[in-house]
Structure 1
Amino acid sequence: MFNKFSVTQQTIMGKSANGNSKSLAKLIPLLILIYVSLTASGQTTKSTKANSSALTAIESKIRDKTMAIESKLIGWRRDIHQNPELGDQEERTSKLVAEHLRALGIEVQTGVGGTGVVGILKGGKPGKLVALRADMDALAVKEPAGLPFASKATAQINGKTEYLMHACGHDAHTAMLMAAAEVLASMKSELTGSVMFIFQPAEEGSSVVEPGSGKSWGAKRMLEDGVFKKNKADAVFALHVHPGKSGQIDYKSGPATASSDVLNITVSGQQGHGGMPWNTIDPVVASAYVIAGLQSVVSRRADLTKSSAVVSVGMIHGGSSQNVIPDTVKMVGTIRSYDPEARKQLHADIKQAAEHIAEGTYAKAQVDILPMYDVTDNNDALANQMLPVLKRAAEAGVIPGSLQGASEDFSYFAKEVPGLYIFLGVTPDSEDPAKAAPNHNPKFFVDEKALVVGTRAMAAMAVNFLMSGSPN
């Protein structure tokens, strides 16, 4: 190439002697620039192809290694499923996880944010740090008999004995991340950078910390405990199982799950005889108007061209006798939205509506809104970068995800660093996903053949990020 360019330069200079030397001489820097650009472009193309080839080879190894430990993966899931623990009581699960990570030679820290476990796997070469997260806690749900590994565990909740179940699939999440750790640990010499494994407590809320304290959400407490202070991740990934075609991945950029707030309203009146309501101020009637009015807030105040919203009252308590109009009525509900500004406006509108409606019946309303989770906002560039990875990992393809009305404290992690939260279908092929029992239902069922898909998706996203770097 240099010899050819030298000849061209001489030829040009030769022609320039015939009377056009100045014009032709100006072309020389331009030709040099074109040559350098083409050379650099060729080198970049070669580098990109080499990197892509290396990624494909590593993803193939991930697939093979995941399949090789499938029986262990299923065994972990069944063990955790049979021994569910409430938020901040995941002692057995945390011990199982920590022992597994240590056996793999991974640096382990326990007691993070309560019962959380964090592992750091350092690759063969220095580089970026990517985090993978799984939640570990179960729910107070009674599991029906049928599975040989069905839960029989119980716990004391508010003085009552309640049955426990992994009705949201956190047993599967924990097992898949344990498997991803084993797969990646076996390939550590090939990794450029490090992987952080976050096993989080209390995603569903704490069973030992008061909700009103603001300390009941595991992700928030892990961050407050410094999970990203010593080792700041460059990106974080998480996965959640849900009713969907087994092995299929739902993927979405932008808002993925709703923000969530607890709504507490106390309506105060004047107690009296049920047969003489004119001598009372009836908080029951006032509460009925307030509940109906809250739906008008959504339908008439929320701008649905910007963000949808939901306000639901799930509990209402008042009175102790059929012929006594009570002094107060208390109601508790949830507020969901997908936009921070819409959320803020919704809070103000709910407070104003409840207070004014109650005043219209001569009662008073005290409104308290406890913020819980922010919107889980998937980083657009990160989501686009990982789409090809997910397509290669998915057993049954990748489909565009829809907004979820559920909420997630993964949002706390995703506010700190770029995050991506995906969904994995776990409905058996013999069942219609549209009719399958949802998460939090005692009949929620996980098709275990989908677990290898989730494992390799998590491992592959981590490796791809480390080798490809941060999204633009």
Structure 2
Amino acid sequence: MPSYKQILLTGVLACALLAQPTVGHAQLVKWQAQLDQLATKVEPKVIQWRRDLHQNPELGNLEVKTAEKIANHLKSLGLEVKTGVARTGVVGILKGGKPGPVVALRADMDALPVTENNSHNLPFASKVTTTFEGQQVGVMHACGHDAHVAMLMGAAEVLSAMRKDLKGTVKFIFQPAEEGSPAGVVGGAKLMVQEDVLNSPKVDAIFGLHIRSDVEVGTITYRPLGMMASSDNFKITVKGQQAHGGTPWMSVDPIVTSAHIVTALQTIVSRQLDVTNAPAIVTVGAINGGVRANIVPGQVEMIGTIRALDTQMQKQIHERLKQTATSIATGAGATAEVEIQEMTPVTYNHEALTAHMLPSLQRVAGVNAVKLTKPVTIAEDFAYFQEKVPGLYLFLGGMPKGQDPATAPSHHTPDFFIDESGMKLGVKTLATLAVEYLNNPLK
């Protein structure tokens, strides 16, 4: 049963929709029929592209062959193509036959250091291996980025066939390193933004989607405002006084101090934040300190992650984490140094844009197949684009019909699997969002 907030939110969206100017119904029907026909025609190619990419995955910032395949396809469609964007990214620009706004569509390209189990007996399963952070690992598209690339390549072909009728420009952004770059190296969407990918021409709105292994094919799920969480890493170094384990009163014990800090950090979310606004998480993932049973060490280090679905709450957590750790350490006679590394902002769907495009989603998938979803506490660097221009990020069903979501292999695992029949809807969705926004932009 939907919560009171969900019901209220749906009502607000409905009111917003009624206030939006609309393109003629006959024109919408014509566009949709054309898009359906073109998407059906390109579907076999999309599936083949996805299988080829799945069999030949590349890690972030190393997507050289992937980028070459994308660039060759976009050039074959007559698009203006830029390569080497944010190291290995590709951008294609399709200029319509009529003047109008600029809309961007984005797909991420990189695979993960995961060895495919191939429990589904795929003939195109990855057998690629590489060295990652000093270890020999398999490489696998264990999050669906191969499908994202293939669907956007398909959308580019569909929209190219409609070029003369497009009222504006479509920018296709194929982004590397969504899963992250090496420590200290800027990459992914953040680097693309720094390299001005949202300008020349200036983008008015951006759309993206992520296929989900636990959402049934034929379904689109969405959420205005905080859709996916911010992701920040923290490190707390607690320094005390080393002593013999048999005379702990001669020490300032950083282990006991750290234990108090770990417990207190859990009260930030449970007792210090208004969690009716949005969920948040503070997790300590590792604690390291000491070398022997009979020595109280002089220092302990702990690392963890912060997740938030509201930017203001994210800032509050940062402040309270620092205050909590340093105050407890001071009270114990120790010191605590707190470092917070801001990784990814909140994936924040522009509220008015979400309402504006909801009818388009319902036309392409069917009213009952477009569902309001709960937020998720994993992160997505599409958020960097949304910080600069209005953006809408969606989830697309990739789970076989009738399967229990609880049994679906999760993302980032060796058994990850998607039903390729769901990709046609992804092509149609991306193309529809572009066409309808160009003809009826957000005011």
3-state SS of 1:81 partner: helix
Give the alignment's TM-score, normalised by structure 2: 0.90
Asked if 2 retains the 8 angstrom alpha-carbon contact of 1:86 and 1:206, the reply is no
CA distance in 1, matches of 2:237, 2:23: 65
3-state SS of the aligned residue for 1:461?
helix
Aligned residue among 419, 431, 434 for 2:403: 431
* 2-structure distance, mates of 1:246, 1:59: 19
Task: Please list every run of 5 or more consecutive structure 1 residues that lacks an aligned counterpart in the other structure.
Answer: 1-47
**TM-score, structure 1 as length reference:** 0.85
- The structure-2 alpha-carbon separation of the partners of 1:171 and 1:274, relative to structure 1 and needing over 3 Å to count, comes to farther
1:459 maps to what in 2?
431
- Whether the aligned pair in 1 keeps the contact of 2:60 and 2:180 (CA below 8 Å) is yes
Matched residues in 2 for 1:434 and 1:126: separation?
Answer: 48
The one of 311, 315, 329 equivalent to 1:340 is: 311
SS in 2 for 1:85: coil
Q: CA deviation at 1:321?
A: 3.9
Identity of aligned residues (%): 49
Partners of 1:57 and 1:415 lie apart in 2 by 34
Query: Cα gap change, 1:394/1:322 in structure 2, threshold over 3 Å: closer, same or farther?
Result: farther
Which whole-Å CA distance do the structure 1 matches of 2:246 and 2:22 have between them?
A: 84
Give per-residue Cα distances to partners, 1:112-167, cap 9 Å, x unaligned.
11111100001111211110001111122222133222222222222211222211
Structure-1 residue corresponding to 2:18? none
Q: Show CA shifts across 1:1-50 (max 9, x none).
A: xxxxxxxxxxxxxxxxxxxxxxxxxxxxxxxxxxxxxxxxxxxxxxx887
Q: How does 1:21-420 map to 2 (within 5 A)?
A: 51-145=24-118, 146-207=121-182, 210-211=183-184, 215-216=186-187, 218-242=188-212, 243-394=214-365, 397-420=369-392
The 1:342–1:322 alpha-carbon spacing in structure 2 relative to 1, beyond 3 Å, is same
Structure 1 residues 71, 275: CA separation in 2 closer, same or farther (over 3 Å shift)? Answer: farther
Contact 1:314 1:334 in 2 (8 A): yes
Distance 1:276 1:158 in 2: 41
Which amino acid in the other structure matches residue 71 of structure 2? Answer: A
Deviates more, 1:98-107 or 1:436-445: 436-445
What secondary structure is seen at the aligned counterpart in 2 of 1:350? helix
Amino acid at match of 2:200: K
Alpha-carbon deviations, 1:301-321, whole Å to 9, x = none? Answer: 111133321101122223344
| Matched letter for residue 292 of structure 1 | T
Aligned length: 419
Once the two structures are superposed, residues 154-195 of structure 1 have per-residue CA deviations (whole angstroms, 9 ceiling, x without a partner) of 222222112222111111111110110111111111211110
- Does structure 1 retain, via aligned residues, the 8 Å contact 2:104–2:173? yes
Q: Distance in 2 between matches of 1:289 and 1:169?
A: 41
**1:443 and 2:443 are equivalent in the alignment:** no
- State the alpha-carbon separation in 2 of the partners of residues 229 and 50 from structure 1: 27
In structure 1, distance between residues paired with 2:293 and 2:219: 53
Describe the shift of the 1:471–1:153 C-alpha distance in structure 2 as closer, same or farther (beyond 3 A): same
In structure 2, C-alpha distance between the alignment counterparts of 1:275 and 1:143, rounded to whole Å? 50
Deviates more, 1:172-181 or 1:393-402: 393-402
Secondary structure at the counterpart of residue 277 of structure 2: coil
Deviations 1:309-368 (A, max 9, x none): 110112222334444433322222111112222221111111011112223333321111
1:51 is displaced (CA, Å) by 3.5
Q: Structure 2 vs 1, CA of residues 136 and 50 (structure 1 numbering), >3 Å: closer, same or farther? A: closer
Cα distance in 2, alignment partners of residues 347 and 239 from structure 1? 29
Q: Answer yes or no: is the 8 Å Cα contact 1:374–1:409 preserved in 2.
A: yes
Q: Judge conservation of contact 1:108–1:120 (CA < 8 Å) in 2.
A: yes
